[in-house]
Amino acid sequence: MNHNLITFDQEQGIFHLKNNEISYIMKLEDEGMLAHIYFGKKVNQYHDHKNYPRRDRGFSGNVPGQEERAYSKDTLPQEFSSHGSMDYRIPASIIQRENGTNLTDLRYHSYKISAGKPVLAGLPAAYVVEENEASTLTITLKDRFEGIYLDLFYTIYNERNVIVRSVKVRNLTNQTLSIEKIASMQLDLTNSGKYQDVLSLPGAHVQERQVNREKLSAGIKRFESRRGATSHHMNSFIALMEDDANEFNGEVIGVHLVYSGNHSFELEVDQINQLRLVAGINEYNFSWELKTQQEFQTPEVLLAYSDSGLNKMSDTFHHLLRERVARGAHQFAERPILVNNWEATYFDFTNEKIEAIVDEAADLGIEMFVLDDGWFGHRNNDDSSLGDWFEFEGKLAKGLKAVADYVHAKGLKFGLWFEPEMISIDSKLYEEHPDYLMQVPGRTPSSSRDQHLLDMGRKEVRENIQKQMEAILNTIEIDYIKWDMNRSMSDTYSVALESHQQGETAHRYILGVYELMENLTEKYPKILWEGCSGGGGRFDAGFLYYMPQSWASDNTDAIERLKIQYGTSIAYPTSAITAHVSAVPNHQTGRVTSLKTRGDVAMSGVLGYELDLTMLSEAEKDEITQQIKVYQELRPLVQYGNFIRLISPFEGNTTAWLFVAEDQSEALLFMARTLASAQPVFNEVRLKGLAEGFLYEDQATGEIYSGSELNQIGVYFPDFYGDFQTKLIHFKKRGN
């Protein structure tokens, strides 16, 4: 164990988590209150000079049990707060007793320092490969009068600018408790003037993860999802930023929740301009019955600190998510270039149509064919058969296995689409098990896209779906699965739970999905699993634990994708972001862009194609063949290099980003201009992250640049002609 990562000064009551980059400091104040002192750039030694000032604040009551009026929970920066004991700010926890009271008075009880990082049973989480790469501090708080214990977990890695936090509630009383709210973390900042801005990633279907930055002011601000999933509408990530922080300068704290359900980030600027952040499971429609001797574990939060702007924060998350959240055989594997038949055929396909697309794919150098929706039950449109994961007899005259065999015979991998969490009224599954459908008794369930949710919190439901999927996976060679989820949660009720437990339904649903994914990914480790939810509706760190990549958006328009992929990159690595070239006019926007532009944008993610290859001209086929060859050369750099945002599409007419190899031996610059001008300005971009002393050669022109001049002087954008133009420049180190 690296004992230097976490220290406890018994005499002064100071906990200090520290590595070479960051420090996190807490102190035991009077009456066993655990106070937050600092989170930020490394502090070599802390000498207890930041004791919280005592001042009598009107209508801020004493700490219970303490007569000093100047000492109040209502102003003290705490590590974790509770409801009802003189702290009137947003609480991190609300726990109700059998008599209906929900007053909890949390005080310090004990601590433990351990090597490595605990595994969270049933939940996705960051992990360690070697025990000595991280240390964990567990601080236990206890209610002042009863046996309600909260274990606060803090993990610090040796070489990552991140603190990983979560909370476990333990009921050692002799009564049943009801958890009405339990956050994964709280962060109280006395110097809230430093972090005046908050950045979030809101959006909508086909417009996911747009970048929004706003000022914090007095009162409460919430970023949340109530849709049962992370949602297209508000991603489970925010960042606190200094007023003048940007991509390369200023202090930033990134907050990433490793969870795929209803989430909430609450920010309150209080009466004396202090900032409180509470993050975790959304308390909306949530409660959890906790019987005596039972425990409840929250999802975890990844807290990243940067002293050099958003790009450094993103880099911390990119490496952590790719290296210590994603798992499995494909974690660091080069992801295959695929073609999906959806926009080519929709539901109208036959063996012959599929074989024609596969023939073209093989000739073009595409590496995988994916058969999308419509192969199962009796599904010829989207109003039937979900839940019937058996082959649609007769639709494919030669059968589904023949499709897979044909694809493999052509040298391609074969992928298949599933939507395991859904059920159609018009299905055999509903006919046999109508109670599997999530609905409120006595009411007609609300429909969305003519489909409904299965109650995934129930074991028998999960086992039924798993058995059906395994029957396919055991008889057909499948290399890839696209796991879709095409509606938000409603009619949130489970027949398996008592009336007073219905607040558990949404969280149990997510836990059930996690269990099903864990079972399947463990049993079929060679399959590449891709997450999807109507595009990017469940693009989160929780899903990344089971599926190393996700479909970023149903919007395949290259110009719209500039913003979607830029915003997504703030919190997620490129290896997780799938991006496809589709036909024009684009199905979502009607926009016409060149095949080059579509290819350049899609090659900034995990490349794929979403169009009818049989309809291409010879010139288009030649261009796609060349795109694929270029991407195959660039793939390790794009998927696993360091990604740097240079110019934001949210701030003007140009966009630029950069991929740099870990050893700085090569780089790929992407540049885009949206609209043309008759009198264009000269756009230029300075690169970042190249080795100052290296010489780099432009692989297309042979021109030589020093890393120093690329970093400090940069290059002009090309003299583009026309709208929607892009360019890639591939630099390689020259010589030794």
Cite the active site residues. Answer: 484, 554
What are residue 193's phi and psi, to 5 degrees? -60, -25
Place of tokens 């919280």: 52
For residue 669, what is the enclosing H or E element? Answer: strand 666-673
Question: How long, in residues, is the chain?
Answer: 736
CB 516 within 8 A of CB 466: yes
CB 48 within 8 A of CB 12: yes
Rounded Cα distance between 557 and 206, Å, is 10
Token reading at 189: 């900042």
Return the sign of the alpha-carbon dihedral for residues 469, 473, 474, 476: positive
3-class SS letters over 387-439: CCCCECCCCCCCCHHHHHHHHHHCCCEEEEEECCCEECCCCHHHHHCHHHECC
- Cα–Cα distances (Å) from 348 to 66, 344, 373, 580, in that order, read 74, 9, 10, 21
Rounded Cα distance between 617 and 595, Å, is 12
DSSP letter (8 states) at residue 449: T
CB 154 within 8 A of CB 19: no
Rounded Cα distance between 21 and 303, Å, is 13
Rounded Cα distance between 720 and 630, Å, is 21
CA-angle at 331, arms to 486 and 386, nearest 5°: 20
Rounded Cα distance between 732 and 736, Å, is 11
Helix (H/G/I), strand (E/B), else coil: 90: coil
Burial class (CB in 10 A: 0-12, 13-18, 19+), 267: buried
Return the sign of the alpha-carbon dihedral for residues 630, 634, 635, 638: negative
CB 698 within 8 A of CB 706: no
Helix (H/G/I), strand (E/B), else coil: 492: coil
Greatest C-alpha distance within the chain: 85
* Region at 11 (left for phi over 0; alpha for psi -120 to 50; beta for the rest): alpha
CB 406 within 8 A of CB 399: no
Contacts of 327 (CB under 8 A, 6+ apart): 127, 545, 546, 548
Token reading at 303: 């807290």
Rounded Cα distance between 38 and 611, Å, is 52
Residue type, 615: M
CB 135 within 8 A of CB 155: yes
What are residue 501's phi and psi, to 5 degrees? -105, 5
Token reading at 366: 């595409």
Rounded Cα distance between 538 and 106, Å, is 34
Nearest Cα neighbor of 126 from 267, 7, 304, 291 is 304
Return the sign of the alpha-carbon dihedral for residues 444, 447, 451, 455: negative
Token reading at 483: 């796991």
> How many C-beta atoms surround the C-beta of residue 432 within 10 A?
10
CB 359 within 8 A of CB 616: no
Rounded Cα distance between 673 and 290, Å, is 56
Place of tokens 């609480």: 91
